[in-house]
């Protein structure tokens, strides 16, 4: 895999795409771009459709290239195996399981603000199971601006998921490093990603009470965003780390909005982070991905933007842990998708994902 | 390994996803998804157990799991286990310890880090779970039991519900789409209620039947308006209710009122026990048409008798079409009869107000002629058929055409396309056969009557030319011999000479030929004296004219007089029946000709006789009597002359009586009502004066009148004359009396004399005279005839004097 970073998203980006497209050694194009105003369907669709090489990717809050996170520009990577790109736009229709024995890794990018984002992931698992090693994340802007954010050969699309399956083995590391400080608390009312009541109380009130009880901090409308960044919810899985659900907004009725579904009737814990445990988790993720991987494997990482926001000044250490391998590229995502073939495919929050892909 | 609270929490979260859903698949999928997600499994599946011990996959997740090695290994293990189960079942052992089948849960490992688990879903099937990496902790496996039971219950319930739902759906589909009226009735607390009824039910029976009465299970559909039927209906309904209440299905033929009137239905009712109680399904199969047809077929024998015994052809036609409409569901039936005079099929009878199908002339291209030729034809859609039949009035699409032999065609039609099936065609054939027989019989009867009428007219003809004209005038209509001629054998020229022809024959042939000896079929038939039917003249080498417009004919000899020839322009159009009629007619005509000949001769004789009595005999007697008187005056032999004169006078009286006798006979049919006293007075008045010594007494003891021949007084006068001549001695008495005896009037002429000679009375009694046995005059004959023509009785009593008695019925 050969990657290039385009500082501007105008003609340079288009020229880079066409350059890779004409490269006979390039059979697929992975695009990790920042949500610049230039990335609109009108601006890029024509170019995307003209490409003879299958293209896939997304717009993310930041992209990772050369050991740094960039809030602008785009990373374009030419890969040596031809991907099978599929767009999932409807959650109601089951995917046709059409597995090719050679396809072993699937890149999954989901519009983080899609109404059925979790269902897209569930559809993938229902169709393909652990036939693939999945790696990817939620695309979009952190400020909640809904826009077309997924690159496909047909253009830029939104409210969907794009899957690119490649015949390349990979190893995955998925870790978050968040730990329990309280729970379990019953989700007594929820609607998709909207947590209405917790233990029978308005979610915000109950959350504030838990934080008040378990920490030395007090949740107010002013402090909620900052506290929520450091105290997400965790959903239990047998024999696995909790699935983190990141609250990011409060509705007028006291509901909490999260990235990812919170099923009614289930239980959540309140987690807390520590820069050290999080950086250690990132390091473990890199180590897990690197274990058994070839030295020339392409390393791609997707780290949650909210981790970066939480770690703030310590994020450089996490980024360094994730980018230990040279030429690591990646993005800061809004939710992560990963599965190493040993469990259920999930849509994570606040998690660090590293993948080492052979022969890419 | 998860601690107990964590495990409990996870199991609880899984249990939230286990509940019966809309379908078995969705129930299993929702639950399986929770199992996989919460237990961090990579593959899973739910299988239902078949009755044969095998398993059917309900769902597998992910879909690609069917190629996953963990899933495949688990499934194979399950198949093996099922085989063991089946083997156990076949070994027919009750000892569970002997079973080879593995007990659930079954745990297995696959490759590096693959684990599978097969959990029993009691009374339903099996749950398959598979993991990669670390397997499920033993505590979790143990703890899944209650969850699996819950899943088994949910799946079994959903499956059962799905089965019921499918059955219900099937029933609903059947219920709504079935064309026959159908209704369901439920019984709650002894009250029957209609729970559902389909559109056909509402259309057939209307809204008035929306409820049942009390506990009555069959909907309240009245049978008919009649009281008697209503009572029968009550009994019938009670029987149906009793059977249904007893849990027995019912099949019964019932009559019910419908929105269109009334109908016959085959009621099929069945009680069904459901979860909510007992329900009754009632299906009404409309058998109105079938029953009507059955009834019609049952009475077809009677109908056919009516057709067969039709008094005339018109009645035969009308009964045939009436029977057709009764037996076949059609909108119109007609008979078109063949008219030999015009060579056309013309409407003779129709069930419509006016004939629908137009007459077909011989030149028309219509399938009617093919059918007239003997072919049955059914046209399913006249508007698109190659054949066309001219018709007016209602739209006609289906036409069933059946031949009526040489009589014509039976036409049955309907506005619907394809209205007639094979049964209708067979019935049409049967009807046409019946109609043909009826027409033939009626024609024969009518023909025989016509022959009688023609014969009567023939025998009353004054002479043969008049007879020939009368016969030829009648033949076209009376015997359907429009093309007919008569030929007379001319002995002098030895040939058959034409006497006359019908108008149609003249129009067709113009100049009838004379047949010389040996000319054609006609001469041969005349010579043999046998009637001959010629089906197709063109096919006969001995035909007089093989190009004749007449194609078939009957040649019937009239004894030695000549022949009658009747023809038709179509071959095979004249039949054996025509030959038979012609044969009968000519046989009668032969006799009639002889009668006409005899009558002509009698008339001639009568004229001669009249002239002799009236003129020749009287004139000569007058002359003889004149000369005899002269001789008696001048001659010595005056005594002889007196005898001559007396005999002349006798001859004069005899001649006068003979003329009276002729007059009486000629007026033998005349009757008039007269008073007895008038009759007797006239008779005494006309009688010669009695000798002076003879006294005539008249005693009328009745005022009755009698219906008698006008010459009745002449008869009494003759009796008085006879008494004066033969019986009354001098000083004797002659008595004329009239009395009533019951309903009769008795007129007696009595005297004291020896009476009328026995020989005279014997001749009168025998009504015959011969050379050896004859009367002395015509006087007694005159009395006998007048009394006879007056419907009276003449008797003589010689026991004490002579009494002549005339008994007449009082008017």
**Residue B659 located in a structural domain:** no
B310 and B263 within one domain: no
Strand, coil or helix: what is B467?
helix
Q: What is the CATH number of the domain that holds B239?
A: 3.30.450.20
Q: What whole-number distance in Å separates Cα of residue A210 and Cα of residue A196?
A: 16
pLDDT of residue B364: 87
**Residue B795 located in a structural domain:** yes
User: Given CA atoms B642, B647, B650, B655 in this order, what sign does their dihedral have?
Assistant: negative
Q: What is the DSSP letter of B343?
A: T
B666 has pLDDT over 70: yes
pLDDT of residue B751: 84
B333 and B236 within one domain: no
Give the side-chain half-sphere CA count within 13 A for A240: 32
pLDDT of residue B728: 60
For residues B446-461, give the mean pLDDT.
Answer: 88
B474 and B382 within one domain: no
- A153: Cβ contacts below 8 Å, ≥ 6 apart: A48, A49, A51, A54, A55, A56, A85
Both tokens assigned to A249: 């907004």
Bond before B435 cis per omega within 30 degrees: no
Nearest residue to A355 (alpha-carbon basis) of A300, A304, A302, A317: A300
B94 has pLDDT over 50: no
For B185-197, letters b (16+ CB in 10 Å) and e give: bbbeeeebebebb
**Residue B628 located in a structural domain:** no
B222 and B122 within one domain: no
Q: How far is CA A285 from the centre of its chain?
A: 14
Q: What is the CATH number of the domain that holds B798?
A: 3.30.565.10
Instruction: Express as a percent the part of chain B with pLDDT over 90.
Output: 39
Q: How far is CA B514 from the centre of its chain?
A: 47
Q: What whole-number distance in Å separates Cα of residue A28 and Cα of residue A47?
A: 15
Q: Give the range among A36-40, B187-191, B227-231, B676-680 with minimum mean pLDDT.
A: B227-231
Partners of A171 on chain B (C-beta within 8 Å) are none
Q: Which of A97, A238, A343 is opposite residue B62, by nearest beta carbon?
A: A97
pLDDT of residue A56: 97
pLDDT, one tens digit per residue, over A278-287 is 999 999 999 9
Q: How many domains does chain B have?
A: 5
Domain's final residue, options B243, B258, B286: B286
CB B515 within 8 A of CB B589: no
Both tokens assigned to A313: 């000044």
B231 has pLDDT over 90: no
B460 has pLDDT over 90: no
B478 and B401 within one domain: no
Q: What whole-number distance in Å separates Cα of residue A341 and Cα of residue B439?
A: 97
Q: What is the CATH number of the domain that holds B93?
A: 3.30.450.30
Top-confidence residue, B215 or B487: B487
Looking at CA atoms only, how far is residue B61 from chain A in angstroms?
A: 6
Domain's final residue, options B256, B286, B316: B286
B537 and B439 within one domain: no
Question: Looking up tokens 């998921």, which residue turns up?
Answer: A161
For residues B470-493, give the mean pLDDT.
Answer: 90
pLDDT, one tens digit per residue, over B739-789 is 999 999 999 999 877 666 666 666 666 655 444 444 556 778 889 889 999
Q: Which of A95, A184, A343 is opposite residue B40, by nearest beta carbon?
A: A343
Strand, coil or helix: what is B361?
strand
B487 and B417 within one domain: no
Q: How far is CA B159 from the centre of its chain?
A: 63
**Residue B630 located in a structural domain:** no
Q: Which of A127, A265, A343 is opposite residue B63, by nearest beta carbon?
A: A127
B218 and B239 within one domain: yes
Both tokens assigned to B90: 């076949």
**Residue B645 located in a structural domain:** no
Looking at CA atoms only, how far is residue A237 from chain B in angstroms?
A: 5
B159 and B26 within one domain: yes
B694: containing domain: 668-809
Q: What whole-number distance in Å separates Cα of residue B323 and Cα of residue B178?
A: 34
pLDDT of residue B774: 47
Report how many helices (DSSP H) and strands (DSSP E) chain B contains, helices first: 21, 29
Q: How confident is the model at residue B211 (pLDDT cuts 50, 70, 90)?
A: low
Q: What is the CATH number of the domain that holds B384?
A: 3.30.450.40
For residues B157-178, give the mean pLDDT.
Answer: 81
**Residue B636 located in a structural domain:** no
Positions in chain A whose pLDDT score sits under 70: 92, 94-103
Residue in chain A nearest B62 by alpha carbon: A126
B1 has pLDDT over 50: no
Query: Do A342 and B131 count as a contact with CB atoms less than 8 A apart?
Result: yes
Q: How confident is the model at residue B228 (pLDDT cuts 50, 70, 90)?
A: low
Interface test with B, best of A121, A127, A129, A185 (most B CBs within 10 A): A129
Looking at CA atoms only, how far is residue A220 from chain B in angstroms?
A: 30
Query: Do B42 and A129 count as a contact with CB atoms less than 8 A apart?
Result: yes
B67 and B133 within one domain: yes
Q: How confident is the model at residue B116 (pLDDT cuts 50, 70, 90)?
A: very high
**Residue B170 located in a structural domain:** no
B520 and B377 within one domain: no
Q: How confident is the model at residue B110 (pLDDT cuts 50, 70, 90)?
A: very high
pLDDT of residue B47: 95
B562 and B530 within one domain: yes
Q: What is the mean pLDDT of chain B?
A: 85
Q: Which of B1, B10, B131 is opposite residue A236, by nearest beta carbon?
A: B10
Domain's final residue, options B416, B446, B476: B446
pLDDT of residue B229: 56
pLDDT of residue B492: 85
Query: Do A341 and B42 count as a contact with CB atoms less than 8 A apart?
Result: yes
Q: What whole-number distance in Å separates Cα of residue B485 and Cα of residue B499?
A: 7
**Residue B622 located in a structural domain:** no
Both tokens assigned to A185: 């608390």
């Amino acid at each position: 895999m050969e990657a290039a970073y385009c500082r501007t998203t105008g003609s340079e980006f288009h020229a880079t795409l066409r350059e890779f497209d004409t490269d006979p050694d390039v059979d697929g194009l992975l695009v990790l771009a920042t949500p610049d105003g230039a990335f609109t369907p009108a601006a890029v669709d024509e170019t995307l459709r003209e490409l003879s090489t299958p293209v896939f990717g997304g717009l993310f809050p930041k992209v990772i290239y050369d050991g740094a996170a960039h809030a602008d520009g785009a990373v374009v990577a030419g890969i040596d195996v031809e991907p099978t790109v599929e767009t999932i736009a409807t959650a109601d229709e089951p995917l046709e399981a059409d597995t090719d024995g050679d396809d072993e890794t699937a890149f999954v990018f989901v519009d983080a603000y899609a109404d059925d984002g979790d269902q897209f992931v569930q559809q993938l698992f229902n169709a393909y199971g652990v036939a693939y090693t999945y790696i990817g994340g939620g695309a979009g802007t952190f400020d909640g601006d809904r826009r077309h954010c997924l690159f496909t050969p047909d253009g830029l699309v939104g409210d969907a998921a794009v899957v690119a399956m490649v015949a390349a083995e990979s190893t995955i590391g998925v870790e978050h490093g968040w730990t329990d400080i309280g729970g379990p608390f019953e989700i007594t009312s929820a609607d998709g990603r909207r947590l209405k009541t917790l233990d029978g109380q308005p979610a915000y009130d109950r959350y504030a009470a838990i934080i008040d009880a378990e920490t030395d901090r007090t949740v107010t409308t002013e402090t909620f965003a900052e506290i929520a960044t450091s105290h997400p919810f965790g959903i239990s899985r047998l024999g696995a780390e909790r699935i983190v659900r990141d609250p990011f907004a409060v509705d007028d009725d006291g509901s909490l909005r999260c990235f990812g579904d919170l099923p009614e009737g289930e239980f959540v814990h309140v987690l807390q982070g520590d820069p050290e445990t999080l950086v250690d988790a990132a390091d473990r993720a890199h180590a897990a991905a690197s274990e058994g991987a070839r030295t020339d494997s392409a390393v791609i990482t997707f780290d949650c933007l909210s981790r970066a926001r939480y770690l703030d000044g310590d994020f450089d250490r996490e980024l360094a842990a994730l980018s230990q391998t040279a030429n690591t590229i990646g993005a800061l995502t809004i939710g992560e998708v990963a599965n190493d073939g040993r469990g259920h495919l999930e849509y994570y929050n606040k998690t660090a994902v590293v993948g080492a892909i052979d022969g890419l | 390994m998860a601690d107990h609270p964590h495990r409990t929490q996870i199991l609880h979260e899984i249990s939230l996803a286990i509940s019966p859903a809309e379908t078995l698949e969705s129930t299993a999928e929702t639950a399986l998804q929770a199992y996989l997600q919460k237990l961090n499994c990579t593959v899973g599946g739910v299988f239902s157990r078949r009755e044969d011990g095998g398993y059917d996959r309900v769902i597998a997740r992910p879909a690609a799991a069917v190629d996953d090695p963990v899933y495949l290994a688990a499934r194979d293990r399950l198949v093996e286990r099922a085989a063991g189960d089946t083997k156990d079942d076949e070994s027919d052992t009750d000892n569970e310890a002997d079973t080879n089948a593995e007990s659930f849960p079954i745990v297995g490992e696959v490759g590096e880090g693959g684990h599978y688990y097969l959990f029993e879903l009691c009374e339903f099937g099996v749950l398959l779970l598979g993991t990669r990496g670390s397997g499920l902790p033993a505590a979790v496996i143990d703890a899944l039991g209650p969850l699996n039971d819950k899943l088994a219950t949910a799946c079994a319930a959903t499956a059962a519900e799905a089965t019921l739902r499918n059955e219900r759906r099937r029933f609903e589909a059947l219920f709504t789409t079935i064309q026959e009226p159908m209704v369901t009735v439920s019984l709650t607390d002894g009250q029957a209620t209609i729970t559902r009824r389909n559109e056909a039910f509402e259309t057939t029976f209307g809204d008035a039947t929306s409820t049942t009465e009390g506990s009555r299970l069959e909907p309240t559909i009245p049978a008919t308006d009649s009281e008697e039927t209503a009572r029968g209906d009550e009994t019938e309904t009670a029987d149906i209710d009793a059977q249904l209440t007893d849990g027995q299905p019912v099949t019964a033929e019932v009559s019910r009122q419908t929105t269109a009137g009334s109908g016959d239905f085959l009621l099929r009712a069945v009680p069904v026990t459901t979860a909510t109680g007992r329900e009754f399904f009632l299906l009404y199969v409309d058998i109105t048409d079938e029953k009507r047809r059955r009834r019609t077929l049952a009475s077809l024998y009677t109908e056919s008798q009516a057709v067969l015994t039709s008094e005339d052809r018109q009645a035969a036609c009308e009964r045939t079409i009436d029977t057709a409409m009764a037996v076949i569901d059609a909108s119109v039936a007609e008979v078109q009869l063949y008219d030999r005079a015009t060579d056309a099929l013309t409407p003779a009878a129709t069930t419509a107000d006016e004939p629908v199908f137009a007459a077909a002339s011989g030149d028309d291209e219509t399938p009617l002629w093919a059918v007239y030729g003997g072919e049955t034809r059914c046209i399913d859609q006249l508007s698109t058929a190659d054949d066309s039949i001219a018709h007016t009035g209602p739209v006609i699409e289906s036409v069933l055409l059946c031949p009526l032999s040489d009589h014509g065609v039976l036409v049955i039609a309907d506005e619907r396309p394809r209205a007639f099936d094979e049964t209708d065609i067979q019935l049409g054939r049967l009807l046409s056969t019946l109609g043909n027989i009826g027409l033939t019989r009626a024609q024969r009867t009518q023909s025989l009557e016509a022959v009688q009428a023609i014969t009567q007219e023939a025998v009353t003809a004054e002479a043969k030319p008049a007879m020939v004209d009368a016969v030829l005038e009648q033949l076209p209509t009376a015997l359907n011999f429009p093309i007919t001629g008569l030929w007379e054998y001319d002995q002098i020229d030895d040939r058959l000479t034409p006497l006359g022809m019908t108008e149609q024959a003249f129009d067709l042939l113009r100049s009838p030929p004379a047949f010389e000896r040996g000319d054609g079929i006609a001469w041969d038939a005349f010579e043999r004296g046998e009637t001959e039917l010629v089906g197709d003249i063109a096919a006969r080498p001995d035909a007089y004219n093989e190009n004749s417009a007449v194609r078939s004919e009957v040649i019937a000899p009239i004894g030695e007089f000549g022949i009658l020839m009747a023809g038709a322009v179509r071959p095979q159009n004249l039949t054996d029946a025509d030959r038979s009629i012609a044969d009968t007619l000519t046989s009668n005509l032969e006799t009639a000709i002889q009668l006409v000949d005899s009558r002509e001769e009698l008339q001639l004789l009568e004229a001669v006789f009249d002239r002799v009595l009236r003129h020749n005999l009287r004139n000569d007697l007058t002359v003889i009597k004149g000369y005899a008187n002269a001789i008696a005056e001048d001659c010595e032999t005056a005594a002889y002359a007196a005898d001559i004169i007396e005999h002349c006078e006798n001859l004069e009286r005899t001649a006068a009586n003979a003329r009276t006798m002729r007059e009486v006979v000629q007026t033998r049919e005349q009757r008039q009502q007269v008073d007895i006293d008038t009759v007797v007075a006239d008779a005494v008045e006309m009688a010669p004066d009695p000798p002076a010594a003879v006294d005539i007494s008249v005693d009328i003891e009745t005022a009755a009148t009698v219906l008698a021949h006008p010459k009745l007084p002449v008869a009494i006068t003759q009796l008085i004359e006879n008494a004066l001549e033969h019986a009354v001695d001098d000083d004797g008495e002659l008595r004329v009396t009239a009395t009533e005896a019951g309903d009769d009037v008795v007129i007696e002429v009595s005297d004291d004399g020896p009476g009328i000679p026995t020989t005279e009375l014997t001749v009168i009694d025998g009504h015959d005279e011969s050379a050896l046995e004859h009367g002395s005059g015509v006087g007694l004959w005159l009395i006998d005839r007048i009394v006879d023509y007056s419907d009276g009785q003449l008797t003589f009593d010689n026991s004490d004097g002579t009494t002549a008695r005339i008994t007449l019925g009082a008017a």
